[in-house]
């Protein structure tokens, strides 16, 4: 029932159903609605803003944006700025819940952004996370497993201080199922999936107030996006990867993946494993850092 696209990195380029991330969106929303309805965990606040519903709305935004992209190939300038709309519920949530407006940076200390946190930092976080997560993909499992690692990390960090992690238990299990299928090359999550999971990560980090951990975990993503954008900006060249004898190889370093496969032929599975390990290392770093900062 889903549109199919050819799997470029397989012999014979078999057709694989794409855009199954939409299912994640629907499942996550239903999950969060149920949490809201049955008050499984009360996230009560004076201002009357519901955390599960805010999260649901953001995921919905992300999924919808991805769907539009899958549907009509949005231009980059739209894709880059559309998440700003999705930041609105989060901005309102942050103001209403009176969350900290400061970010504690290692070595620098606490930086208080004041009201700029609401009107500048939150939209920026949403925009950057959503787009960078969307940019690292294209291999079976890459666009689904790596965000799952980041999200699991953030959930365990937030579990130290609050019960917000409960919101994500259902959605992450469903996402992991999709990731397993994706890894096997049975499905693609599509832009609807990668935008939705990017939005999930960003909004969860803001709602659960684990911004620094988010920043540490997505360093590989930021590295990848900066590399891509900088090369496009300076040399007007896109990252390309050659597929030969079931192995992938590149002759330039214009993205994270091409850096890994630079004159080093690797199978698709191996590339995904290496990137996942890098992301895991940074996520573990984030976890270790928050553990330490709580202990100290």
> Would you tell me which residues interact with other proteins (CB under 8 A)?
1-6, 15, 18-19, 22, 25-26, 29, 33, 36, 39, 42-50, 53-54, 56-57, 60-61, 63-64, 67, 70-73, 85, 88-89, 91-93, 95-96, 118-119
Helix (H, G, I), strand (E, B) or coil at 152: helix
Least Å distance, CB 271 to other proteins, is 20
Least Å distance, CB 88 to other proteins, is 4
Beta carbons of 214 and 125 less than 8 angstroms apart: yes
| Residue nearer to other proteins on the CB measure, 91 or 216 | 91
Least Å distance, CB 290 to other proteins, is 27
| Residue nearer to other proteins on the CB measure, 92 or 289 | 92
Least Å distance, CB 238 to other proteins, is 13
Residues in the chain: 296
| Residue nearer to other proteins on the CB measure, 2 or 223 | 2
Gyration radius of the chain's alpha carbons: 19
Q: What is the DSSP string of 114-156?
A: TTHIIIIIHHHHHHHHHHHHHHS--STTHHHHHHHHHHHHHHH
Least Å distance, CB 5 to other proteins, is 5
| Residue nearer to other proteins on the CB measure, 93 or 175 | 93
Beta carbons of 41 and 32 less than 8 angstroms apart: no
| Residue nearer to other proteins on the CB measure, 96 or 265 | 96
Least Å distance, CB 77 to other proteins, is 13
249: β partners: 242
| Residue nearer to other proteins on the CB measure, 6 or 114 | 6
Least Å distance, CB 195 to other proteins, is 12
Beta carbons of 217 and 153 less than 8 angstroms apart: yes
Number of H helices, E strands in the chain: 13, 6
Strand ranges, E, within the chain = 4-6, 15-17, 102-105, 109-112, 242-244, 247-249
| Residue nearer to other proteins on the CB measure, 69 or 268 | 69
C-alpha 38/C-alpha 43 separation (Å) is: 12
- Other beta carbons within 10 Å of 286: 24
Beta carbons of 158 and 201 less than 8 angstroms apart: no
């Amino acid at each position: 029932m889903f549109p199919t696209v050819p799997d470029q990195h397989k012999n014979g380029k078999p057709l694989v159903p794409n855009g199954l991330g939409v299912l994640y969106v629907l499942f996550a929303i239903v999950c969060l609605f149920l949490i809201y309805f049955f008050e499984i965990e009360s996230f009560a606040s004076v201002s009357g803003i519901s955390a599960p519903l805010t999260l649901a709305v953001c995921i919905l935004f992300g999924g919808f944006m991805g769907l539009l992209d899958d549907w009509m190939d949005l231009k980059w300038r739209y894709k880059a700025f559309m998440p700003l709309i999705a930041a609105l519920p989060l901005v309102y949530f942050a103001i209403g819940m009176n969350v900290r407006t400061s970010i504690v940076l290692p070595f620098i200390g606490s930086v208080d952004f004041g009201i700029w946190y609401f009107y500048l930092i939150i939209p920026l976080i949403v925009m950057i996370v959503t787009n960078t997560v969307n940019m690292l993909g294209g291999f079976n499992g890459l666009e689904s497993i790596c965000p799952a690692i980041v999200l699991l990390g953030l959930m365990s960090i937030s579990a130290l201080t609050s019960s917000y992690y409960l919101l994500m238990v259902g959605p992450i299990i469903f996402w992991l199922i999709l990731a397993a299928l994706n890894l096997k090359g049975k499905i693609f999550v599509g832009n609807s999936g990668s935008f939705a999971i990017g939005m999930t990560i960003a909004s969860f980090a803001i709602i659960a107030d684990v911004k620094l951990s988010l920043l540490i975990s997505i360093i590989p993503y930021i590295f990848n996006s900066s590399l891509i954008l900088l090369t496009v900006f300076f040399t007007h060249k896109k990252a390309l990867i050659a597929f030969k004898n079931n192995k992938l190889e590149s002759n330039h370093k214009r993205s994270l993946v091409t850096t890994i496969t630079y004159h080093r032929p690797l199978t698709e599975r191996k590339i995904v494993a290496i990137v996942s390990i890098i992301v895991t290392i940074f996520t573990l770093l984030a976890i270790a850092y928050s553990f330490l900062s709580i202990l100290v």
